[in-house]
Amino acid sequence: MWRTRSGAFMTRSQRTAAFIASRLASVMLTIAGATLLLFLMVRLVPGDFTSVMLGPRATPVLRAQITHDMGLDRSMVEQLWLFASRAATGNFGEDVVSHRPILDIVLDVVPNTLALAFSALALAMVVGIPIGVIAALKPGSWLDSGLALLSISFITTPTLVVSVILFLIFAIGLHWLPVAGAGNPGDIADRLQHLVLPSVALALGWVGYISRLVRAALLDTLAELHVRTLRAYGVSEYRIVGLYALKLALVPVVSILGIGLGDLIGSSVVVEIIFARPGIGSLIFNSIAQRNYPVVQACIVFIVAFYIVANLVVDMINAGLDPRIAAGRG
């Protein structure tokens, strides 16, 4: 049983249900705000939107067709409702360049971006967490100072610079890994080879973030009373870290995973352009260059939806790792 701020008692299931309900309410507000911003993004384009988007192709007939298809000939309230209802069902219309459904264009490249983001995040955790643990076990030592310098170097080096260096050394110079592309769809080994350099370039900065965060969180956890009690009973330091302290120290790491995935997808623009890798980032870049704003809108809707879902899942995992979070005391 847990006591709420009002003084009432709640069971664990009631507390979890209330926590999920509050997070879902936050999700709905975030989606509503993102929808409004996306709607305004197009309407605030200077000049006639259809002429700006179509460029030299802006014939009177084509302008009238695009205006009607996007509902630009209706009132602002009707336009907002039309945009929100279509976005909710995945109906973003037809691309004026390729004449394909915009949703199909986005879904074609989504797997490449998700594979890149998840592999980069996994790599960052696999490398960053051990570095943080080692630094926390040797605070103030030369090893701690060296790992701190290494982590800060990773954080401060721009993804663009890392991408270019890896590209020049391992792809152009040594010919160890493929230069560009995402690999053959049916060849898993080839796709993994094409994933190595972009994943490393994208993950390096987050290796530094995660290692410093794990070090700080683990040092705080090791200083808590229940850990000192375990030491008093003769439990070894490595057993304390492995079985007790590390689980609590990973709570702030899990908290940033949702933000991390969103940041990695955003940073993928640079990586996908340098390595000529098809994905959401390169699609946004090319669509902006072509002034193809409906495709840009669809890509942003996907990124926002993915970011929201990722953070919701992270909140659920955090509540499982530390029940105090669901109780409002974390």
pLDDT tens, residue by residue, 42-71: 666 665 667 666 666 667 777 777 777 777
C-beta of residue 285 within 8 angstroms of C-beta of residue 295: no
**Residue 2 above 50 pLDDT?**
no
Scanning the structure block, which residue is given the tokens 């996007």?
A: 70
- Which tokens in the block code for residue 49? 């939107």
Within 8 A by CB and 6+ apart from 330, the residues are 251, 318, 322, 324
d(CA 330, CA 328): 6
What average pLDDT does the segment 29-43 reach? 76
Q: What pLDDT is stored for residue 154 in this prediction?
A: 92
Scanning the structure block, which residue is given the tokens 């605030």?
A: 44
Mean pLDDT for the chain overall: 80
Q: What pLDDT is stored for residue 321 in this prediction?
A: 61
Where are the chain's structural domains?
23-89, 109-325
Class of the CATH domain delimited by 109-325: mainly alpha
Within 8 A by CB and 6+ apart from 54, the residues are 62, 63, 66, 96, 291
- Which tokens in the block code for residue 219? 């040092």
Within 8 A by CB and 6+ apart from 257, the residues are 121, 310, 314
Confidence band, pLDDT 50/70/90 cuts, at residue 131: very high
Least confident window among 32-46, 145-159, 212-226:
32-46
Percent of the chain with pLDDT strictly greater than 90: 17
Least confident window among 61-65, 200-204, 278-282:
61-65
d(CA 258, CA 311): 4
Q: Which residue has the higher pLDDT, 68 or 85?
A: 85
C-beta of residue 214 within 8 angstroms of C-beta of residue 128: yes
- Which tokens in the block code for residue 75? 């009132």
**Residue 260 above 60 pLDDT?**
yes
Least confident window among 48-52, 57-61, 121-125, 207-211:
48-52
What average pLDDT does the segment 248-264 reach? 79
What average pLDDT does the segment 14-25 reach? 72
